[in-house]
């Protein structure tokens, strides 16, 4: 059987590798000149940056974690997470609930007291079940942790009000510590949260794209780049995929490209489906990549809930993941800004957005001055984060049902339109291929 796989990101190349191993005939069609999608990395002037934001390899899915490690082979380094939240000038241990004793004493008391009050109220059945993400945060963490960190940080990264977000996705994604951990953390006894990420891997050379390249190695000759899928139509028992110039015939088609792109390639899409698709919310991303002379702090990454320091929600230090990603005597910083078309920050030029970030980093004390920056680049991704708003489940159901009824399978982050990390993309590819008779 011949399979056309739309998109050469991590999901597309994993599907190709697994299907080919099963003896299937595959072709991957990728719009850009290189594979990788959100996991692309760029090396310039000796600095390697992940262009779709900072990536690390971790998973609670032990089978997939071993698979990723095997695929990378010896091009892999392992690091212990040293991550903080920048709060009122303090570096608070991540996750926030595990770092309460790093807070000013009044704030620590506020968080602990409100956490206990909420716990008692929930136990007594005095708290109605949460109906949205904001209510879930308050019911889970109490007003202290919610007001000081969880709500401001989440509204910054999601670029959307928490009360307009659904809560069906939070379990397993947002750390929920045991009560003892919160009490211990408030009185200063060391605890570790989100433990499956406490040690993470990263390629020594080539940034996160090295994982995609290693995954693609056995099917390299089955990948067509610079092929932007423009139409997908059924013909006979199969499908014809075209970029407007060249047509490719296949028996089956799997799409890993954003559903928004796929629907635009299909004729006769009902109005209800198009409208549901238009209503699916997502965030775009601006990555600001900075090469720094000398060393940076020893952190893995920092979360920045405050707006007054800048629009960036996370600052990572790639040169602390691998010593090969910055030239001798230099280090690197990657700041991420989530945004939507029309936001003030999206309208900034690359130079303006770099200045904005550098100013914030200087104020945070992470770099001495703009003179420390010896390399700068800005990368933009249209599709970075799925936003689970309150209408999400209805809208995605309409879109998926229509596409699957057309005989096209959907696997991957923006094809399924789910908050999938690399491990989940690989897991879904694996399960898809397993189900092929």
Ligand X SMILES: Cc1cc2nc3c(=O)[nH]c(=O)nc-3n(C[C@H](O)[C@H](O)[C@H](O)COP(=O)(O)OP(=O)(O)OC[C@H]3O[C@@H](n4cnc5c(N)ncnc54)[C@H](O)[C@@H]3O)c2cc1C
Half-sphere exposure of 121 (CA within 13 A, CB side): 16
Report the C-alpha gap between 249 and 240 in whole angstroms.
5
Q: Which of 3, 4, 5, 11 binds ligand X (CB under 6 A)?
A: 11
- Pick the closer one to ligand X by CB: 93 or 413: 413
386 binds ligand X (CB under 6 A): no
Residue 259 CB, shortest distance to ligand X, in Å, is: 10
Residue 83 CB, shortest distance to ligand X, in Å, is: 12
325 binds ligand X (CB under 6 A): no
318 binds ligand X (CB under 6 A): no
Question: Are 374 and 294 spatial neighbours (Cβ–Cβ below 8 Å)?
Answer: no
217's CB contacts (< 8 A; 6+ apart) are none
Residue 336 CB, shortest distance to ligand X, in Å, is: 5
56 binds ligand X (CB under 6 A): yes
Binding segment toward ligand X, per CB under 6 A, in 116-124, 182-190, 397-405, 406-414: 406-414
Residue 419 CB, shortest distance to ligand X, in Å, is: 9
Please give the order of strands across the beta sheet that includes 373-387. Answer: 90-93, 84-87, 301-303, 314-316, 330-339, 281-293, 373-387
Question: Are 212 and 13 spatial neighbours (Cβ–Cβ below 8 Å)?
Answer: yes
Report the C-alpha gap between 231 and 240 in whole angstroms.
8
Residues 248 to 267: which contact ligand X by CB under 6 A? 256-257, 261
Closest CA to 29 of 202, 249, 234, 179: 249
414 binds ligand X (CB under 6 A): yes
- Pick the closer one to ligand X by CB: 182 or 257: 257
- Pick the closer one to ligand X by CB: 53 or 291: 53
Q: Which of 5, 18, 39, 254 binds ligand X (CB under 6 A)?
A: 39
Please give the order of strands across the beta sheet that includes 231-235. Answer: 231-235, 238-242, 247-250
- Pick the closer one to ligand X by CB: 39 or 326: 39
Q: Are strands 25-29 and 2-6 parallel, antiparallel or unpaired?
A: parallel
Residue 384 CB, shortest distance to ligand X, in Å, is: 4
Binding segment toward ligand X, per CB under 6 A, in 41-49, 123-131, 268-276, 379-387: 379-387
Residues 282 to 311: which contact ligand X by CB under 6 A? 285
Residue 12 CB, shortest distance to ligand X, in Å, is: 5
| 252 to 228, 237, 268, 402, 406: CA distances (angstroms) | 18, 9, 20, 16, 11
Report the C-alpha gap between 262 and 258 in whole angstroms.
6
Convert 54-72 to b/e letters by CB count within 10 Å (16 or more is b): bbbbbbebeebbebbeebb
Residue 294 CB, shortest distance to ligand X, in Å, is: 26
Residue 397 CB, shortest distance to ligand X, in Å, is: 20
How many residues contact ligand X, by CB under 6 A? Answer: 36
- Pick the closer one to ligand X by CB: 8 or 152: 8
Residue 166 CB, shortest distance to ligand X, in Å, is: 19
Q: DSSP letter string over 342-364?
A: TSTGGGS-HHHHHHHHHHHHHHT
Q: Which residues bind ligand X (CB under 6 A)?
A: 6-12, 29-32, 37-39, 52-53, 55-56, 228-229, 256-257, 261, 285, 336, 383-385, 412-414, 420-423, 425
């Amino acid at each position: 059987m011949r399979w056309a796989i739309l998109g050469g990101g991590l999901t597309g190349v994993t599907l190709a590798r697994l299907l080919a191993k099963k003896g299937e005939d595959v072709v991957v069609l990728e719009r850009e000149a290189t594979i990788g999608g959100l996991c692309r990395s760029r090396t310039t002037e000796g600095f390697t940056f992940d262009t779709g934001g900072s990536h690390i390899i971790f998973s609670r899915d032990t089978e997939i974690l071993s698979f990723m490690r095997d695929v990378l082979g010896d091009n892999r380094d392992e690091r212990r997470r040293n991550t903080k939240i920048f709060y009122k000038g303090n570096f608070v241990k991540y996750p926030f609930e595990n770092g309460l004793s790093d807070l000013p004493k009044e704030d620590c008391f506020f968080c602990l007291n409100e956490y206990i009050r909420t716990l008692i109220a929930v136990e007594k059945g005095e708290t109605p079940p949460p109906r949205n993400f904001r209510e879930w945060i308050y019911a889970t963490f109490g007003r202290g942790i919610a007001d000081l960190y969880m709500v401001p940080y989440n509204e910054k990264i999601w670029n959307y009000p928490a009360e307009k977000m659904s809560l069906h996705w939070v379990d397993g994604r947002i750390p929920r510590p045991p009560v003892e951990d919160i009490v211990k953390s408030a009185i200063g006894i060391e605890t570790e949260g989100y433990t499956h990420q406490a040690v993470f891997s990263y390629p020594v050379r080539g940034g996160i794209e090295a994982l995609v390249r290693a995954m693609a190695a056995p099917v390299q000759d089955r990948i067509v780049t610079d092929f932007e899928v423009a139409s997908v139509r059924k013909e006979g028992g199969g499908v014809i995929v075209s970029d407007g110039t060249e047509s490719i015939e296949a028996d089956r088609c799997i799409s890993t490209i954003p559903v928004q792109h796929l629907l635009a390639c299909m004729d006769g899409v009902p109005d209800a489906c198009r409208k549901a698709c238009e209503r699916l919310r997502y965030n775009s991303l601006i990555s600001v990549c900075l090469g720094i002379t000398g060393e940076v702090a020893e952190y893995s990454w920092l979360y920045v809930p405050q707006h007054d320091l800048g629009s960036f929600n996370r600052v990572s230090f790639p040169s602390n993941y691998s010593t090969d990603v910055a030239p001798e005597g230099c280090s690197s910083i990657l700041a991420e800004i989530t945004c939507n078309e029309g936001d003030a920050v999206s309208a900034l030029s690359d130079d303006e957005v770099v200045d904005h970030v550098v100013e914030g980093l200087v104020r945070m004390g992470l770099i001495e001055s703009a003179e420390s920056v010896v390399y700068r680049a800005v990368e933009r991704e249209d599709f970075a984060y799925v936003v689970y708003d309150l209408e999400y489940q209805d809208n995605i159901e309409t879109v998926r049902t229509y596409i699957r009824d057309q005989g096209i399978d959907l696997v991957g982050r923006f094809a399924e339109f789910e908050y999938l990390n690399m491990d989940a993309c690989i897991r879904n590819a694996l399960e898809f291929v397993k189900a092929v008779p």
